[in-house]
Structure 1
Amino acid sequence: MKISEILHRSAIIADLKSNDKKGVLEELAAAVSDMAETDSQQILKVLLEREQLGSTGIGGGIGIPHGKLNAINSIVVGFGLSRGGVDFDSLDNKPVHIFFLLITPENSTGSHLKVLAQISRLLKQSDFKDRLMKAETVDDIVQIIHDVDDEF
């Protein structure tokens, strides 16, 4: 499953404004709420509950906040870029700059894991991360993700 096929440009934030975890999650939840056809507060609640289990800041400047929600019927992916970085309780205690948000239906464990795995594969490429960090617009981000996604 290609990320570029499920990440809509309306769910991409090229310059996150928030400088804390909850604020970033609020921005990302709002960005995907139309696509998810559900209230951003429901999405935020699921994300915050998941963060209580352990941070989704995986290190290397990356965060992959995710959760499952009964109210949606298909996988929803969002993206956010923080220029200054955010304290996200990351595993390496470093600021997070690149965020991929993933919300899946409650009963879609297989799809959930496949998308997480694809995001992780993409983010293991340092060139991909470097290009994302230099992206200035939503169009830049779409193109970068599309280019790298095609390699898989």
Structure 2
Amino acid sequence: MKITDLLPTQNIRQGILCSSKKRVLEVIANIAAEHQNLEPHLCFEQLCAREKLGCTSLGGGVALPHAKLAGGEKPVAVFLQLDTAIDFSAADRRDVDLFFALLIPEHYCDAFKIHLARLAECLTDKSLCKQLRNAQSAEEIWEIFEHIEI
């Protein structure tokens, strides 16, 4: 599966400003809900509930927030490249500026676990992260992801 199968261009934001973990999760929830016929507040609640179980930071300034949804037809991804990194309670204490978020319908969760693990491995690649940080548009970010299989 290609990352771009999950991540439409309209779900990518480049160079945005967010001042807190809560605000990042709100932005992710709103973007995911916008085009996928989901309720933003439910997406936000599920993302927050998952973060309470443990921080989804992967280290190196990257986080992989994810959550199960009761509804939805297929997994939905959102990618944010922040203008300025924020405190995300990462184990390595590094602020986070790259967020790849996934909202996964419950009926997909078991089958999707292997993809989630591969995605986490992919997002810890320093070369990929450098490219994503240097990207100047959503289209450029999408093109970087277009060549990656998980």
Q: Under a length normalisation based on structure 2, what TM-score does the superposition of the two structures give?
A: 0.93
CA contact (8 A) 2:33 2:39 kept: yes
Which residue of the partner structure matches residue 118 of structure 2?
118
2:32 and 2:77 in contact (8 A); partners too: yes
> What amino acid maps onto 2:119 in structure 1?
I
Give the structure 2 partner of residue 10 of structure 1: 10
Report sequence identity in percent. Answer: 28
Number of equivalences: 150
Matched, 1:64 2:61: no
5+ residue gaps in structure 2? Answer: none
* Offset of residue 115 of structure 1: 2.8
Describe the SS at the equivalent of 2:8: strand
Contact 1:25 1:47 in 2 (8 A): yes
Asked if the contact 1:13–1:138 (Cα under 8 Å) also holds between the matched residues in 2, the reply is yes
User: Shift of residue 118 of structure 1?
Assistant: 2.8
Tell me which amino acid in the other structure corresponds to 1:84: T
Q: 1:87 aligned to 2:87?
A: yes
Match of 1:139 in 2: 139
SS in structure 2 of the partner of residue 82 of structure 1? strand
Q: Which residue of 1 aligns with 2:38?
A: 38
Report the CA distance between 1:92 and its aligned residue: 0.8
Structure 1: tracts of 5 or more residues without a match: none
Find the aligned partners of 1:56 and 1:133 in 2 and give their Cα distance. 19
Q: How big is the shift at 1:50? A: 0.6
Q: Residue 42 of structure 1: SS of its match in structure 2?
A: helix
The structure showing larger relative contact order (alpha-carbon pairs under 8 Å, at least 6 residues apart) is: 2
1:117 Cα deviation after fit:
2.0
Displaced runs of 4+ in structure 1, greater than 4 A? none
